[in-house]
Structure 1
């Protein structure tokens, strides 16, 4: 079975064979939007249509805001990029743990974590967080927030 990948910018899914097709072994950018990197899912994962994507570096700082991020938080990239994701989004996980730190430190996924999002200047909102580590030399993570219904 081919490994599955997801683009944090547009949510397009691809397989490992699609990402390395041709003569080069270097991974290609997203075929749909051209975003330069994608995250390996390791299982069958489909984000909700209203999910918001945030890409973070190895320290948990936001390096890209993807599909749905502005709609969920009201914050544009210029107010988010370079800042700690937990701070700028006011993340408070239901069990009191810091799942961003856990994913960064241990390189493990965390799916279905209840979280309260309190982005700057916005009212608190409930969501579900899915966090995926970056399996490359740079590290980092993909945070997918799905607003609670």
Structure 2
């Protein structure tokens, strides 16, 4: 059975039989851009061309900014890495409970969540959030923000 993976850096989607890189036990890396780890998707997922990717650790702190992150927020990697994703991006979800906290606590996907993004020094923008938990021992999540036009 094939598993679907997505790279938080470039958005490349791949399919593989295992989440590990051969017999080494290391997480799969991206074959396209060389990024160090991929997120497994339970279903095939097609991000919008203008979607922004943010990878977070188990505490919800940003560990990597991927494709589209600068275009959406105006913030570079150095300005956001190590900081809580909800506060650095100024995320305000339309409905409670907070989908980021739910994904971290319960390890469940949160799809099509309307959100206002108000990154530091930027104007507020409407977006749709798709949140994928990391299915490994380290935890964490992948936040995909698609701007609304």
TM-score bracket, shorter-length normalisation: over 0.9
Deviation per residue, 1:85-125 (Å, 9 max, x gap): 00000000011331111100000000000000000011100
Match of 2:38 in 1: 38
Deviation per residue, 1:22-76 (Å, 9 max, x gap): 5545333100011111101110110000000000000000000000000000001
SS in 2 for 1:121: coil
Q: Does 1:74 pair with 2:74?
A: yes
**How has the CA–CA distance of structure 1 residues 137 and 25 changed in structure 2, closer, same or farther, with 3 Å as cutoff?**
closer
Match of 1:64 in 2: 64
Match of 2:50 in 1: 50
Mapped to 1, the partners of 2:39 and 2:22 lie a distance apart of 20
Displaced runs of 4 or more, over 2 A: 16-28
Moved more, 72-81 or 22-31: 22-31
Match of 1:83 in 2: 83
SS in 1 for 2:17: helix
Structure 2: segments with no counterpart, 5+ residues? none
Match of 1:96 in 2: 96
TM superposition score normalised by structure 2 = 0.94
Mapped to 2, the partners of 1:123 and 1:131 lie a distance apart of 23
Contact 2:19 2:40 (C-alpha < 8 Å) held by counterparts: no
SS in 1 for 2:70: helix
**How has the CA–CA distance of structure 1 residues 27 and 134 changed in structure 2, closer, same or farther, with 3 Å as cutoff?**
same
